[in-house]
């Protein structure tokens, strides 16, 4: 099953989609860093909880990329702290901490990654695009993190995810 994770109801009108919306007027309300960070933390909590439930030891990176240092778009994204040397090469393994590190930076539009494990994958790209494929039901784990989901098929995944 492939879960598309979002911070608002899938059927609802998503008011903001990424770090670039911090400081913007969203329906008469300015999105502030603390509000953004709370949602970012919910995504990281979800990934951590999935690691716990599935007892993942290490994941295999399939693809990873990051933006150039000169592309420091957002003063509040703490890009100066991103360490591109931590990019794990294809064929090596990623620990929980490395996956969560890259997930946070992917949510901040600094990088993207695609990792696999025995029974599925995680894809995390900009605009809060997080896709998780597993062979167990994640509904309660997703809801416990305060997030929402949509079950999608491979064709929809291929339409939505760039550079698979």
Helices 33-54 & 96-107, crossing angle to 10 degrees?
150
- Say which residue, 126 or 155, is predicted with more confidence: 155
**pLDDT tens figures, 38-85:** 988 999 999 999 888 888 777 777 776 666 554 555 555 565 666 656
Average pLDDT score over residue span 131-154: 93
**64 burial via Cβ count (<10 Å: 0-12, 13-18, 19+):** buried
- In this predicted structure, what is the pLDDT of residue 119? 79
Task: Read off the DSSP letter of residue 58.
Answer: -
- In this predicted structure, what is the pLDDT of residue 7? 84
Q: Give me the chain's average pLDDT, please.
A: 80
- Whole-model pTM: value is 0.82
| Secondary structure (3-state) at 40 | helix
């Amino acid at each position: 099953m492939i879960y598309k994770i979002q911070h608002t109801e899938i059927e609802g009108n998503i008011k903001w989609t990424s770090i670039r919306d911090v400081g913007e007027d969203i329906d008469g309300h300015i999105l502030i860093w603390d509000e953004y960070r709370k949602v970012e933390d919910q995504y990281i909590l979800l990934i951590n909880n999935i690691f716990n439930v599935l007892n993942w030891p290490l994941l295999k990176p399939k693809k990873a990329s990051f933006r150039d240092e000169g592309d420091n778009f957002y003063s509040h994204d703490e890009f100066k702290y991103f360490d591109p040397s931590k990019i794990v090469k294809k064929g090596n393994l990623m620990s929980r901490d490395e996956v969560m590190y890259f997930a946070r930076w992917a949510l901040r539009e600094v990088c993207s990654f695609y990792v696999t494990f025995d029974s599925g994958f995680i894809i995390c790209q900009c605009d809060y695009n997080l896709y998780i494929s597993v062979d167990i039901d994640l509904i309660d784990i997703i809801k416990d993190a305060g997030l929402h989901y949509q079950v999608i098929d491979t064709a929809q995944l291929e339409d939505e995810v760039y550079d698979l």
